[in-house]
Structure 1
Amino acid sequence: MTTTATEATTAQAAVVSFDQVSKVYGDVRAVDGLSLYLHPGETVALLGPNGAGKSSTLDLLLGLRTADSGTVRLFGTSPQEAIARGRVGAMLQSGGLMEDVTVEEIVRLVCDLHAPASQLAEAVRKVLAGERVIDPTLAAAALADGASPLTERERDVLCTAADGSTNAEIATTLHLSHGTVRNYLSTAIQKMAARNRAEAVRIASEKGWL
């Protein structure tokens, strides 16, 4: 098999790639040499009769099954690693339990995927009060990536707060309401994984984001 430069570029730029993937169940070849590349912004539907291999293909994509031959890549890595990094979401059309998983393992999985009730309740209260809520894990990941997670307005508010200005003074300087300033500061503090505005200003300044 010969791979052209165009095909290589297409495969490299894809967020999902199946390269000559096959999956066999006994005498049944559910997926037979599938090559498929999906790129950012595309919406794709898998159509076919029962037994055509649609579910098996999705299982391979989600790391629920392993291909017998060929390679499946998701965001440039294996499906299992992409899912472990929280980069993938799936909504199933019907419910059911995985065959090879015990009840205890399922219960532990559900608990691990959901925040503690108190943390969730606090987040809901903040949202209802008009505040933004940033997941600490996502904030830490953003800090590790090196790119500024701050919006232009959040940066403006932090810059103005750097000299010790009060919320009222920041609001006057930037022509914003007091509530808007409070929300921007709260979001910026969460994104910096900081305890207060002073620490948020320090972290952002050290990283060159102000």
Structure 2
Amino acid sequence: MIRIVIAEDQTMLLGAMTALLQLEDDIKIVAQARNGLEALAAIEKHQPDLCILDIELPNMTGLEVAKRIREQEWDCKMMIVTTFARASYLQQAMDLKVEGYLLKDEPIEFLVEAIHKVMNGERVLSPDLAMHLFLKEENPLTEREQEVLRLTKGGKTTEQIATVLYLTNGTVRNYISTAIQKLEVENRHQAIQKAEEKGWI
């Protein structure tokens, strides 16, 4: 019997997934969670074989839950389900070595098959996501440019970034300007947004 915890904040979808998966002879849903903290508590309590995590959970995202599971070294396989085919999400999931990463518009048969494959030691990606991984762009930003964009995203001013990185204000501005040019955008806010979407910061 495959024991599963499902974490999904949309009540109707959570109920539908649970009902459909319970129809399988070898699957048992041991707990449902509607946010990341509930998911983590349920996984710790039930020690399931597999957890299915929505990526955009309240309190803690599915990726944050996955990271915590890895840190705790719990023997629980993980599948991320998402509406979003974002490269940054996919890259984070790959870095965490999640066993499955599926789009929510896949048919239930695909999910059931994916569960069985994951339990047999395989990794599963939705075909559309696999294409994203295949077409992954090379990051044009240097480490320093990424660092400056991350600090800018965190709300730090040019002066504060200069202090943190032991640089002059002009050098920080140059890094931001170069990043904007490389990313082919018009300002620092667009640069941060694009770099985040691509999984580069």
- TM-score > 0.5 by shorter chain: no
Per the shorter chain, which TM-score range?
Answer: 0.3 to 0.5
The alignment's TM-score, normalised by the length of structure 2, stands at 0.37
Greater fraction of residues in helix: 2
